[in-house]
């Protein structure tokens, strides 16, 4: 857990209120449509978007703009990557994934969530991830720890890699996805089980809550990592790329676990070789 200037606490509390309100509002929209017929559109070769993604995104953006009209916004469906690349040091940038796990949502599989993060000077300072199906909201403020439904959480205390529950996701990239599957195959003998949830954001939050011991992914976008990364770090977890460099909102890779499991996983030669060379 990092330390933040206490003079910023009131602002961060206000921003967290905005993030949680927006995440809950979007979550209610998505929850109401979960068991209803839906329209599915493709936004690439294998990636999809539903009408719920668009409705949730609109609800989140409306709340943010009404509270903080000067802030920039980067959202999965509307884009706005320039909000990150053009932001000056003092700019606030909201980073939104209206539904992480859209394929699960479209198939009525109950593992998806809404992710809302606020970045300042290139770092996430506030995060809210809401799972409306299980009525769980994961939150974090930089320097103040992570919480699940208002109660503090921490990563697991497990120390043996071979007794750990690992998880991964493979993404949509036809070159990178096979490498992710190969890592999962090669790490399987060294862990207890490997799981794939279909929502990277939710899986990282599960690491923060100690439910999953280890999660890795090779191909993420800022909206996949911005909120969940802060939550797991504030839960005393490690979050890096496969070279062990600290994760940022611009990272494409993530390996996250408690410090011991994290180090043991990255020490496996099969992991490093496959992650870098395929």
- Chain segment 66-121, per-residue pLDDT in tens: 999 999 999 876 665 555 555 445 689 999 999 999 999 999 999 999 999 999 98
Q: What is 161-277's CATH topology?
A: D-Maltodextrin-Binding Protein; domain 2 (3.40.190)
Q: Which CATH class is domain 6-152?
A: alpha beta
pLDDT score for 50: 80
What pLDDT does residue 193 have?
Answer: 97
- DSSP letters for 215-267: EEES---HHHHHHHHHHHHHTT-EEE-TTSPBP-TT-S-EEEE-HHHHHHHHT
Residue whose entry in the numeric block shows the structure tokens 């884009």 = 79
DSSP letter at 92 equals E
Q: Please give the pLDDT value at position 47.
A: 57
Tokens in use for 108? 């009525």
Domain coordinates of the chain in residue numbers? 6-152, 161-277
The whole-model pTM stands at 0.91
**What are the phi and psi torsion angles at 193 (to 5°)?**
-150, 160
In this predicted model, what pLDDT tens digit does every residue of 150-161 receive, in sequence order?
999 999 999 999
pLDDT over threshold 70, residue 3: no
Residue 146 has which token pair? 């992570």
Residue 4: per-residue pLDDT: 45
Domains 6-152 and 161-277 fall in the same CATH topology: no
CA distance 209 to 134: 14
pLDDT band at 44 (very low <50, low <70, confident <90, very high): low
Please, are residues 187 and 100 in contact by the beta-carbon 8 Å criterion? no
What pairs with residue 216 in β-bridges?
A: 168, 255
CB 207 within 8 A of CB 215: yes
Task: Name the phi and psi angles at 131, rounded to 5.
Answer: -110, 95
Q: Concatenated DSSP letters for 150-203? A: TEE--------GGG-EEEE---S-TTHHHHHHHHHHHHGGGSSEEE--S-HHHH
The tokens for 263 are: 């180090």
CB of 207 closer than 8 Å to CB of 213: yes
How far apart (Å, rounded) are the C-alpha atoms in residues 170 and 198? 9
* The pLDDT value given to residue 42: 57
- For residues 55 and 36, is the Cβ–Cβ distance under 8 A? no
State residue 77's pLDDT score: 67
pLDDT in tens, 217-267: 999 999 999 999 999 999 999 999 999 999 999 999 999 999 999 999 999
Q: Is the pLDDT of residue 38 over 80?
A: no
**Spatial CB neighbours of 250, under 8 Å, sequence gap ≥ 6:** 84, 222
């Amino acid at each position: 857990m990092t330390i933040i200037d206490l003079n910023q606490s009131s602002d961060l509390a206000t921003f967290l209120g905005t993030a949680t309100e927006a995440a809950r509002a979007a979550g209610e929209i998505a929850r109401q449509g979960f068991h209803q017929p839906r329209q599915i559109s493709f936004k690439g070769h294998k990636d999809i978007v539903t009408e719920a993604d668009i409705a949730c995104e609109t609800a989140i953006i409306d709340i943010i703009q009404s509270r903080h009209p000067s802030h920039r916004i980067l959202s999965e469906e509307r884009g706005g990557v320039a909000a990150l690349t053009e932001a000056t040091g003092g700019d606030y940038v909201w980073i939104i994934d209206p539904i992480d796990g859209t394929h699960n949502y479209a198939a009525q599989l109950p593992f998806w969530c809404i992710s809302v993060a606020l970045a300042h000077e290139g770092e996430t300072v506030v995060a809210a991830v809401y799972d409306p199906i299980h009525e769980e909201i994961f939150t974090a403020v930089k320097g103040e720890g992570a919480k699940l439904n208002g109660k503090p959480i921490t990563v697991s205390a497990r120390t043996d890699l071979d007794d750990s529950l690992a998880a991964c996701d493979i993404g949509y990239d036809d070159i990178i996805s096979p490498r992710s599957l190969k890592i999962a195959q090669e790490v399987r003998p060294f862990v207890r089980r490997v799981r794939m949830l279909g929502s990277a954001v939710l899986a990282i939050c599960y690491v923060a809550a100690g439910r999953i011991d280890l999660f890795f992914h090779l191909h993420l976008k800022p909206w996949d990592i911005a909120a969940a990364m802060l939550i797991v770090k504030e839960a005393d977890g490690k979050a890096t790329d496969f070279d062990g460099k600290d994760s940022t909102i611009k990272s494409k890779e993530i390996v996250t676990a408690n410090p011991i499991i994290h180090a043991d996983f990255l020490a496996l030669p099969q992991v490093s070789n496959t992650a870098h060379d395929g």
